[in-house]
Structure 1
Amino acid sequence: MRGGKMSGQGNIIYINGPVVKADHMEDFMVREMVMVGDKKLIGEVISLEEDIGTVQVYEETSGLKMNEKIIGTGKPLSLKLGPGIIGNIFDGIERPLSEIYNSGFKFIPEGIGLISIDEKKLWHVDILVKKDDILKQDDVFAKVQETSIVTHKIMVPPGIEGKVVSVVESGDYNICDTLAVLEDSAGRRHELKMYQEWPVRTPRPVSRRMPIEKLLVTGQRVIDVFFPIAKGGTAAIPGGFGTGKTITQHQLAKWSDADIIVYVGCGERGNEMTEVLEDFPKLKDPRTGNPLMDRTVLIANTSNMPVAAREASIYTGITIAEYFRDMGYSVAIMADSTSRWAEALREIAGRLEEMPAEEGYPAYLASRLAAFYERAGYVENLNGTEGSVTIIGAVSPAGGDFSEPVTQSTKRIVGAFLALDKELAHARHFPSINWISSYSGYVSMLEEWFKEHVAPDILELRAKMMKILQEENKLMDIVKLVGEDVLPDEQRIILEIAKIIKAGYLQQNAYHAQDAYAPLVRQYKMLKVIDKLYERASSCIKKGIPISKVKDETLFSDIIMMKYNVSDDKPKVFENLNSKIDSYYDSLESMYKEGDTDESQIPKIR
């Protein structure tokens, strides 16, 4: 409906996959949601030229015929936002897959309509306002305990404010029941229900954007300390096939300290989404001990689903994220992968006969990517609360070529770039984040946060370790040519410490009970142990002690393996390692100082 009148009807005159053209479309609007054909397939008007309209259809168009009707709805493609989102699994346009499966369908049938969150389920609602209260847009007027972790705050929709003229009592209601009625200054009355609708391509309004200054704690050492992601920030995880993009995003979804996780499987293989659907319900939230699905929303749009719905799935995910941000939550959205989304843009642009740009992508690829990532941020909401949306997008460049358009356009936009390396992946080093190619622009922004919540010197330690890794990278060019033995001991010890940093710190086992998640305090203590080893070993080298004596295989191995030995019943692992380091090198220095090089006097490490 638009202004109390039905939109006109168009007649289909052209069908090309998900792209349909119709005449008599002069009464329609661009971005209006429409019902296409006798099956009432869901579509969206993307262009109008005189009375000819072009529609992209979000469902399979096989069987669609010429001269079938297109019926307008008078509103843009919108989501129904309310209780029932958390823990659910949706397709790219918010249709619940579990409900479709329980209805007896193995695949999503055409013409099922825009079903959404359950309209019949009763929720216990706690009403927070009374008659004659004044409410502004985004004010919370009721609460629902949606899951054991998430309290769903029922808000006044943006653009509506006024005085409460009637309100129900706390009790059990479904999402379509009217909970309160507002009267605005013009005398118009607005019914407030448990849900609100919002167009997916329009960012939800905020009061103001705030500085980014809090770390998104992930428990992954290479990310938290070396290439941190900030709450409200953006990050890209590019990598070729088999480099671990999906498992890295799974780890972030499982362990990050965001209040809500929105995981968008955009054009990925069905077996990868199956792994998510099977694993997540079994996982426990490390902070609360409750099931991880109690704070997770899954959007599954696999590679065999209609390509136009893939293009919409990214907007569905970010709109849901903004909705929970408005409640004051910290939300992290994982988009896996934006390359598949860009391929959907390319396919649709080709069918629309638009002029292709680099590698066939549309000329507006960069602006569309920027518009998506710009919806991240740490903000003050209209209701006075603070919330954040953090976007972490995987990129799948063909052949691992980072010079292709999607990767390059993304790299210009995001604040953290976690480049996955094929050689590291082949060497079974995971996460395969290349410490030379990656960067994070949030290190300086988070300096005060690190000093306050971890340790004053943690970023100095980070810089020191990065310098060792960069020096090792230069030395490896020489080693590959002439071998390690020609290097002086001062440089050989750098190679040995770099091995410990890589194998003992940056490499992390997602399937090991102790190593899958590393608290920040543990990450800092591990760095301190490695730093102590480096300082003591370097000091011995400078005193003329040969590296064959400085490098004790057992000691170095114990430090590499410390990540597996830390647990609640072994609280003194780091203290014991520091004692071993001091004991060994004190004895070594003392022995060489006295001129006694009897190897039997060197302490044995156990």
Structure 2
Amino acid sequence: MSKGIIKKVAGPLVIAEGMRDANMFDVVRVGEQRLIGEIIEIHGDRASIQVYEETSGLGPGTAVESTGAPLSVELGPGLIGSMFDGIQRPLDEIRRIAGNNLERGVEVAALRRDKKWKFYAEKKAGEEVQPGDVLGTVQETEIVVQKIMVPPGVCGTVRNIESGEFTVDDTVAVLDGPNGEVKLTLAQKWPVRVGRPYARKLAPDMPLVTGQRVIDTLFPIAKGGVAAVPGPFGSGKTVVQHQLAKWAEADIVVYIGCGERGNEMTDVLNEFPELVDPKTGKSLMERTVLIANTSDMPVAAREASIYTGITIAEYFRDMGYSVALMADSTSRWAEALREMSGRLEEMPGEEGYPAYLGSRLAQFYERAGRVMSLGSSQREGALSVIGAVSPPGGDISEPVSQATLRIVKVFWGLDSALAYKRHFPAINWLNSYSLYLDSLEPWFNQNVEGDWMALRTELMRLLQEEAELEEIVKLVGMDALSAPDRLKLEAARSIREDFLHQNAFHETDTYTPLFKQYLMMKVILGYYDLCCDALKQGADAEALVALPVRERIGRFKYVEKENVREEFEEIMKQLHTEIGNLQPKEGY
């Protein structure tokens, strides 16, 4: 164990001498209060330490002690439903010990040591096990069964294992390994900056269905994919992430509030326990882990929080669960990197961010993926990462947004102009994109309908042509447009208002299953195609725009899913009737 003495204190950065035996990323204890920190740079025997707690009162000559281990998280029963800070200290437990205000130097175990969990053994004595094999299970909540796995790097023959009630520190199994006896408990530790191993990565050819029409239809994300949600203040980033947390086809949700405002994080902490999980009817917290790191907490802990969150997410992925991780927001995390880099006196890159900003972002996002886990009975798990970006003034040409866009394959660009018009979700369909479209096309065509992608392409074409026509309308007015162009504008308006606009607080409209999204596309494009044919036969454009059936098309999104197909057929029948009545008799 390496011990040193502080030479310099610069905000959250502490320089200590006498640390020659310490290693990079070792956790250290600083001062009499034993503040927790991490070594981020070593020169000779001088170590630069980022301290995860307030450093006021520290001065030269204060003792520093290395623990000899990297920053790690505890993985085991008790994670689900918990609220942690950026370095996995349970906030409820800290509040119980220290009161409402966070105190420095509070040492609290991440997982409760007094609670006993019912462990059901699946392996028997004499069986060979390898890394990733499931020893047994613990029913953590009514929804989540936690699989107790052999940690990576451990293998051998089971000497002793039994079912029963255990704390996370109790030995549940003893292995005879190549190097002797190995005792296994319900919990395991893992360094946060190292990705957990898996057997192999799978192609991103299945969508993460979210029930949000603009996402599923226009810009889908694959299971195990990565997406960025950049947007200015008030454009709805947090509501988009709440909707995804609630409705996305994920078994586990990990929500990281990284450097967000305290009141916004309070809203999340208050809302999530009250949100009802639509799949089970229970509280959403029964499959959620929350990591809260507000903007007034020490800046260094902000840098650690996203690694803490993604390591917990990988642990559940290894059990075979589909995990959705929400990071809100990586811009605040990048600001923490910039502040620490400045204090280290490193050469700044663009806008003062460190030169390694892009590689650090890539290290985080590349830990996502759909994988086959380790173990003799391989399980398929997925970790999908959705990162919010908060560019200053909504300018996505700034370095964090640009570095993120080079890594992620889905870009949901939130637009303040749409938000001011009360069009939510305010995802701009002209500058957003998804690079998963080609790999997801076979899945949509096989599992929904064969012409799904063709309809999606037609939708996008109409929206793009509407943008071009809007320019003409601004210059010379609506009267200058031909009848087909006027019809095109009306169809695009129907796509925007009746399809893309979605009310997160409406009981039916908040979630739209894929088959309903398909029928909604069919109705809108069916109206456009029939009107185009009628126009060629001599029908009046104004009459086509004013058809009574259009109100029914607009209300189609509020139809319950059990009645959708019947309503679709009735609308199409009414559409044919009304357009037929407009035709000149000799046209037929």
TM-score with structure 1 setting the length: 0.95
Alignment of 1:333-482 (within 5 A): 333-383=325-375, 384-482=378-476
Is the 8 Å Cα contact of residues 42 and 113 (structure 1) preserved in structure 2?
A: no
> After TM superposition, which residue ranges in structure 1, 4 or more long, deviate above 4 angstroms?
567-571
Inter-partner Cα distance in structure 1 for 2:47 and 2:123: 46
- What's the CA shift for 1:557? 2.7
Inter-partner Cα distance in structure 1 for 2:281 and 2:439: 31
Is the 8 Å Cα contact of residues 10 and 70 (structure 1) preserved in structure 2?
A: yes
- What's the CA shift for 1:452? 2.1
- What's the CA shift for 1:289? 2.1
Inter-partner Cα distance in structure 2 for 1:390 and 1:496: 37
The correspondence for 1:76, drawn from 64, 70, 73, is 70
Aligned equivalent of 1:243? 235
CA offsets 1:155-183 (integer angstroms, 9 cap, x no match): 0110000011222x211111000001111
- What's the CA shift for 1:498? 0.4
Q: Does structure 1 residue 195 correspond to structure 2 residue 187?
A: yes
Q: Does structure 1 residue 484 correspond to structure 2 residue 469?
A: no
Aligned equivalent of 2:146? 152
Inter-partner Cα distance in structure 1 for 2:552 and 2:262: 41
- What's the CA shift for 1:561? 2.3
Aligned to 1:451, the other structure's residue is in SS state: helix
Inter-partner Cα distance in structure 1 for 2:345 and 2:585: 80
- What's the CA shift for 1:591? 4.4
Aligned equivalent of 2:567? 573
Aligned equivalent of 2:176? 183
Inter-partner Cα distance in structure 2 for 1:284 and 1:271: 22
When structure 1 is superposed on structure 2, of 276-285 and 255-264 the one drifting more is 276-285
Alignment of 1:94-105 (within 5 A): 94-105=88-99
Aligned equivalent of 2:297? 305
Q: Does structure 1 residue 261 correspond to structure 2 residue 253?
A: yes
- What's the CA shift for 1:592? 6.7
Aligned equivalent of 1:523? 517
Q: Does structure 1 residue 221 correspond to structure 2 residue 221?
A: no
Aligned length: 586
- What's the CA shift for 1:137? 0.6
Q: Does structure 1 residue 58 correspond to structure 2 residue 52?
A: yes
Aligned residue type for 2:178:
S
Aligned residue type for 2:173:
A
Aligned residue type for 1:212:
P
Inter-partner Cα distance in structure 2 for 1:553 and 1:300: 52
Aligned residue type for 1:103:
I
Aligned equivalent of 1:604? none
Inter-partner Cα distance in structure 2 for 1:318 and 1:88: 15
Inter-partner Cα distance in structure 2 for 1:414 and 1:120: 42
The correspondence for 2:490, drawn from 474, 485, 496, is 496
The correspondence for 1:24, drawn from 7, 18, 23, is 18
Is the 8 Å Cα contact of residues 93 and 108 (structure 2) preserved in structure 1?
A: no
Aligned equivalent of 1:35? 29
Is the 8 Å Cα contact of residues 29 and 35 (structure 2) preserved in structure 1?
A: yes
Aligned equivalent of 1:600? none
Aligned to 1:348, the other structure's residue is in SS state: helix
Aligned residue type for 2:287:
R
- What's the CA shift for 1:223? 0.2
Inter-partner Cα distance in structure 2 for 1:311 and 1:592: 73
Inter-partner Cα distance in structure 1 for 2:211 and 2:534: 34
TM-score with structure 2 setting the length: 0.98
Is the 8 Å Cα contact of residues 545 and 592 (structure 1) preserved in structure 2?
A: no
When structure 1 is superposed on structure 2, of 117-126 and 289-298 the one drifting more is 289-298
Is the 8 Å Cα contact of residues 41 and 113 (structure 1) preserved in structure 2?
A: no
Aligned equivalent of 1:541? 535
Is the 8 Å Cα contact of residues 538 and 587 (structure 2) preserved in structure 1?
A: no
Aligned equivalent of 2:106? 112
Aligned to 2:548, the other structure's residue is in SS state: helix
Give structure 1 stretches of 5+ with no counterpart.
1-6, 595-606
Inter-partner Cα distance in structure 2 for 1:108 and 1:415: 39
Inter-partner Cα distance in structure 2 for 1:585 and 1:190: 77
Aligned to 2:446, the other structure's residue is in SS state: helix
Is the 8 Å Cα contact of residues 90 and 97 (structure 1) preserved in structure 2?
A: yes
The correspondence for 1:174, drawn from 167, 172, 180, is 167
Is the 8 Å Cα contact of residues 95 and 115 (structure 1) preserved in structure 2?
A: yes
- What's the CA shift for 1:593? 3.0
Is the 8 Å Cα contact of residues 37 and 69 (structure 1) preserved in structure 2?
A: yes
Is the 8 Å Cα contact of residues 538 and 584 (structure 2) preserved in structure 1?
A: no
Aligned equivalent of 2:116? 122
Inter-partner Cα distance in structure 1 for 2:53 and 2:566: 59
Aligned residue type for 2:78:
G
Aligned equivalent of 1:601? none
Aligned residue type for 1:511:
F
Sequence identity percentage: 52
Aligned to 2:470, the other structure's residue is in SS state: helix
- What's the CA shift for 1:299? 0.6
Aligned to 1:394, the other structure's residue is in SS state: strand
- The CA RMSD measured in Å over matched residues stands at 1.3
Pair 556,292 (structure 1): closer, same or farther in 2 beyond 3 Å: same
When structure 1 is superposed on structure 2, of 407-416 and 546-555 the one drifting more is 546-555
- What's the CA shift for 1:238? 0.5
Is the 8 Å Cα contact of residues 5 and 17 (structure 2) preserved in structure 1?
A: yes
Aligned to 1:444, the other structure's residue is in SS state: helix
